[in-house]
Amino acid sequence: MPTSAKKVVLLVEDDEFLAELYATKLNLEGYEVLSAADGKKGLKLAQDKHPALVLLDIILPKLDGFEVLKGLKEDPTTKDIPVILLTNLSQKDEVKRGLDLGAADYLIKAHFMPSEVVKKIKALVQ
């Protein structure tokens, strides 16, 4: 498959081990992966590259995931990009806030295997 035909997923995750794990899994599934280790870089990459989907942690340096999500949804060029929040924050008010800000899904890291996350991505990125 030529590179241009690959769907691009932007992974915004500051945990290097997890970022590598998800990037590897997504690459094996045929996705091109862009990575950012902080929220500011993630928001800029999304605005510059317009990925098919953003996989976004909430606890991040520089800008937290809620701020990145808000920025993406307020920008007319990125507002339609589906965003999956992938985080360890599991309080009901955090889940509600993420979904209210426009996240397509809210996944708690401890509850989902990478293969399950990939299934969620595939459901959103045709």
On the question of pLDDT at 1 being above 50, the answer is: no
Domain that residue 12 falls in: 3-124
Give the alpha-carbon dihedral of 50, 103, 62, 108, to 10 degrees: -120
pTM of the model: 0.94
Domain containing residue 84: CATH number:
3.40.50.2300
SS3 track for 37-86: CCHHHHHHHHHHHCCCEEEECCCCCCCCHHHHHHHHHHCCCCCCCCEEEE
Residue 5 is predicted with a pLDDT of 74
Widest distance between CA atoms in the chain: 42
Least trusted range by pLDDT, from 11-15, 69-73, 108-112 = 108-112
The CA-atom distances, in angstroms, between 89 and each of 14, 16, 66, 80, 105 are 15, 18, 12, 24, 13
Query: How many structural domains comprise the chain?
Result: 1
Flag whether pLDDT at 2 surpasses 70: no
Is there a contact between 125 and 52 (Cβ–Cβ < 8 Å)? yes
Q: What is the tens place of the pLDDT at every residue in 87-126?
A: 999 899 999 999 999 999 999 999 999 999 999 999 999 7
**Closest of 72, 63, 60 to residue 103, by C-alpha:** 72
Q: Is 108 helix (H, G, I), strand (E, B) or coil?
A: strand
